[in-house]
A = this chain, B = another copy of it.
Amino acid sequence: MKAFIDYILQFGNLNTQQTDLIMSKAKTIELHKDEYFSEAGKIPRQVGFLLEGVVRFCYYNNKGQEITHHFIDENNFVSDQQKFEAQVVASEYIQAVTDCKLLVFSKKDWDDIGNTIVGWDAITGLILKNCLLKTIERRSPLVSEDATTRYLSFIEHFPGLVNRIPLSHIASYLGITQQSLSRIRKNIR
């Protein structure tokens, strides 16, 4: 729980009363590997904060291929935030890549916090902006670099994740086949 509060306090000041309120609304849930946190075609019902494990955002392109859009690791928010806030159907799945433990907030509790804590919207707005910028920065090399360079930049951006994620997910994140990625791994060794 401390990790969560610390994370938030990076983006704005809150007093103990306020952080206590936030913590009082949080519930802890666990997800098994491959379970969904939220699904394409459904309205996201929760905001999560990942305490343990790895999740990914993914979707199916028009060729039916499963594309991993991005990964999230420990101590980061897990939410299709735009769709959650507007309570409209999502176009991506959020899936546990490993067994996970999360803090979650229902829409009602999340709104309650926003209505009680002055400045909460500004803080969450900053957090979202930050996450979006990070996503863009991480995905940029995936367009302009060759496959080997992409893989190396993935390792750089997600140190320690390589050994926790199936090859196929990493390959689809990098925009290559798993055979290609396997070949690249071999060449790097």
Contact = CB atoms under 8 A, between A and B. Distances in A.
A136 B133 contact: no
Interface residues of A, number: 25
- Copies, count: 2
A144 B82 contact: no
A180 interface: no
Interface stretch (A1-9, A32-40, A120-128, A157-165): A120-128
A65 interface: yes
A29 interface: no
A155 interface: no
Nearest to A172: B144
Given A61-B144, A143-B143, A133 B133 contact: no
A173 B164 CA distance: 32
Interface in A127-142: 128-129, 132-133, 135-136, 139-142
Contacts of A65: 144
Contact of A144 (B126, B129, B175): B175
Nearest to A142: B143
A145 interface: yes
Interface string A92-107: 0000000000000000
A136 B143 contact: no
23 contacts: A61-B141, A61-B144, A67-B143, A82-B133, A121-B122, A122-B125, A125-B125, A125-B126, A125-B129, A129-B129, A129-B132, A132-B132, A132-B133, A132-B136, A139-B139, A139-B140, A142-B142, A142-B143, A143-B143, A143-B174, A143-B175, A144-B172, A144-B175
